[in-house]
Amino acid sequence: MKVNSLRQQLVQMLADLKAGGKSIAAYGASAKGSTLLNYFGIGRETIEFVTDRSPIKQGLYTPGTHLPIYGPEKLLDAMPDYVLLLTWNFAPEILAQQAEYRRRGGRFIIPIPEVTVV
């Protein structure tokens, strides 16, 4: 099943990055992103925080995983090595918005339709 294969690939990649001392955040406090985190078993042991453009979500926590949600400026403040993109359907737009983070060496992990690092 494709979902199980994606889960295995993503969880292994994140575990390898963490074992290598890399910091990981997430972008997009979406319902589908929370579903992915919960179903794949990815939580606070892996992801440090989530960023989202919506002021309504900032200051709250993701359901189930209880990750703190901040505004996108947190990416430049914290400069995590990697950001798991939980709103993969908006990847081109978000990658463009986060040009400065990427220019400084930050990388995005896009989990769907296949695990990709950009």
Q: Where are the domains of the chain?
A: 2-117
CATH code, residues 2-117: 3.40.50.720
pTM: 0.96
Separation of alpha carbons 17 and 20, rounded Å: 5
Separation of alpha carbons 16 and 11, rounded Å: 9
From the list 18, 9, 24, the residue with the least C-alpha distance to 84 is 24
pLDDT in tens, 73-94: 999 999 999 999 999 999 999 9
Whether 5 shows a pLDDT value over 80: the answer reads yes
> 22: pLDDT confidence band, cut at 50, 70 and 90?
very high
- In this prediction, residues 39-54 reach a mean pLDDT of 97
